[in-house]
């Protein structure tokens, strides 16, 4: 099951998604899936406004018991209106250099998907 979590804090996620209260419902949905034995893959749109929360997002994902995760920014839907949030190629590279497979697998035991 693919589920988007775009912030470690409700305000960050809800503001990006444009739906007040979405974060709490998403977290409950993840918990429900895991309780039922459904594998969950968290998709996080990394962008300018949530970069400072990436470590906390990874910790949240670990605490929820999620085994798979990937990061992306695909400017479709509402994201077309907010392309300024997308990372520059250099910031994107630096993100993966810092939070890439080796570090995440070692620290968090997550399988990173690209």
Report residue 97: phi and psi, to 5°.
Answer: -60, -40
**pLDDT at residue 106, rounded to an integer:** 41
pLDDT of residue 46: 82
Distance CA 21, CA 33 (A): 19
Whether domain 2-113 has CATH 3.20.20.70: yes
DSSP string, 93-105: HHHHHHHSHHHHH
Contacts of 15 (CB under 8 A, 6+ apart): 7, 49
Q: How far is CA 105 from CA 58, 98, 101, in A?
A: 11, 12, 6
Q: What is the mean pLDDT of each run of 10 residues along the chain (114 residues)?
A: 94 93 98 96 85 88 88 67 65 67 53 53
């Amino acid at each position: 099951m693919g589920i988007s979590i775009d912030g470690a804090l409700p305000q960050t996620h809800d503001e990006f998604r444009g739906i007040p209260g979405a974060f709490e419902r998403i977290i409950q949905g993840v918990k429900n899936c895991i309780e039922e034995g459904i594998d969950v893959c968290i998709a996080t749109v990394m962008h300018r406004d949530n970069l400072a929360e990436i470590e906390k997002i990874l910790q949240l994902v670990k605490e929820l018991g999620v085994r798979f995760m990937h990061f992306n920014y695909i400017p479709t839907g509402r994201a077309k209106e907010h392309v300024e949030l997308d990372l520059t190629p250099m910031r994107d590279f630096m993100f993966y250099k810092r939070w890439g497979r080796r570090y995440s697998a070692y620290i968090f035991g997550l399988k990173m998907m690209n």
